[in-house]
């Protein structure tokens, strides 16, 4: 029965689909699925980029389109980016997910959006921005790499 239904659909196209709800700034870990061409948005992502992050919240089962991705180095919608001094050649790369700590507390999660010389730019949710600002100015901010 499923094979007969697929014949009725006509041509299909591989698309990337979310496998869980995704928050703004979170890593996207979708799976490829075959959808009827008539159901595929024209701007559906065809090739999956490395270290893709969500530009805005996505629901489980959504076809990922270009506007859903924050892009290489883009700051997620509504987030705030800070320049944090680091030693040269520390291995931070754009798209790396990070946890921010200060004074023995977990402040929030962020994502690296740029890696200029002797610093990194880390984007954080607006609810965390004032706290990150205070600890960045005092040189007390600690960054830790996290998994997606």
In this prediction, residue 61 carries a pLDDT of 93
DSSP conformation class of 19: S
Q: What is the pLDDT of residue 72?
A: 64
Sign of CA dihedral 6, 7, 10, 13: positive
pLDDT at 85: 87
Walking along the chain (148 residues) 10 residues at a time, the average pLDDT comes out as 71 92 84 91 85 84 88 77 83 85 93 85 92 91 83
Contact present, 9 and 36 (Cβ < 8 Å): yes
Instruction: Name the pTM for this structure.
Output: 0.63
Other C-beta atoms closer than 10 Å to the C-beta of 119 total: 15
Check the CA dihedral 44-46-52-58 and report its sign: positive
Whole-number pLDDT of residue 18: 93
The residues facing 65 across adjacent strands are 44
**What is the enclosing helix (H) or strand (E) of 122?**
strand 119-124
Task: Quote the tokens at residue 90.
Answer: 């520390």
């Amino acid at each position: 029965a499923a094979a007969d239904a697929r014949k009725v659909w006509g041509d299909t196209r591989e698309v990337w689909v979310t496998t869980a709800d995704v928050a703004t700034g979170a890593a996207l870990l979708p799976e490829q699925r075959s959808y009827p061409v008539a159901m595929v948005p024209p701007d559906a992502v065809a090739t999956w980029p490395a270290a893709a992050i969500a530009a805005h919240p996505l629901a489980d089962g959504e076809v990922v389109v270009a506007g859903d991705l924050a892009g290489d180095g883009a700051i997620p919608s509504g987030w705030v980016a800070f320049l944090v001094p680091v030693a040269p050649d520390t291995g931070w790369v754009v798209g790396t997910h990070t946890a921010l700590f200060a004074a023995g507390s977990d402040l929030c999660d962020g994502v690296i959006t740029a890696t200029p010389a002797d610093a990194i730019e880390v984007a954080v949710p607006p609810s965390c921005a004032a706290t990150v600002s205070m600890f960045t100015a005092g040189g007390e901010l600690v960054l830790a790499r996290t998994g997606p």
